[in-house]
Amino acid sequence: MDKSDVILAVLLAHAPQRAILEFQEGISLKEANHRFGHLSNEEKSACLYDAADEGKGEDVCGLLMVGALVNQANSKGRTPLHCAAQKGHAHVVTQLLQAWALVDQVASMGTPLHIAAHKGHAQVVSQLLQAGVLVNQAGSNGITPLHVAAQKGHAQVVIQLLQAGALVDQATMKGFTPLHVAAQEGHAQVVTQLLQ
């Protein structure tokens, strides 16, 4: 790391969020206001949700710059972070996390970590773990992200969750552990990982 890298890191650490977004995505506040400034708060939130779902990083950036609410949930409790996690849009997940998206917000399908684990999006799982997500947070019926990854046979995600401290013996409300669901689905590699 040379001197310019250190200076950039210090500047980014102390810069306003709008400046960071502008620097990273290349969209100016002026352009963001032109494209999105006329929208109501409700419309901004709906557009942010759609942009996150579609992986449109520049739109996400612009909407955040003009005040779209990063943690606004839809009728199912899903936030833009849930959408980006489900689709595996790692660059959008980064933007939302930098805008202080809540990593542990529970929707009908669980937290963003549940959703990323379900889809096998290892990079998004890594980002959420680095952001301090609660790795053992149970969703409906006591299901954890490790249960979901084990059931789907996502071996890389199982490893990531175990390394982050996921509890291998945490049971659902019906008494099933991640080992039970992996064995039931015939995921031998995951079973081996869970037994180590």
DSSP 18-39: HHHHHHHH---HHHHHHHHTTS
Q: What predicted TM-score, i.e. pTM, was given to this entire model?
A: 0.83
Tell me which residue range forms the domain holding 187: 110-196
pLDDT in tens, 157-181: 999 999 999 999 999 999 999 999 9
Domains of the chain: total: 2
The CATH code of the domain that includes 182 is 1.25.40.20
Do 82 and 131 share a domain, yes or no? no
- Cβ 67 vs Cβ 41: under 8 Å: yes
Do 90 and 1 share a domain, yes or no? yes
CA–CA separation, 178 vs 161, rounded Å?
12
- Look at residue 9 and tell me whether its pLDDT is greater than 50: no
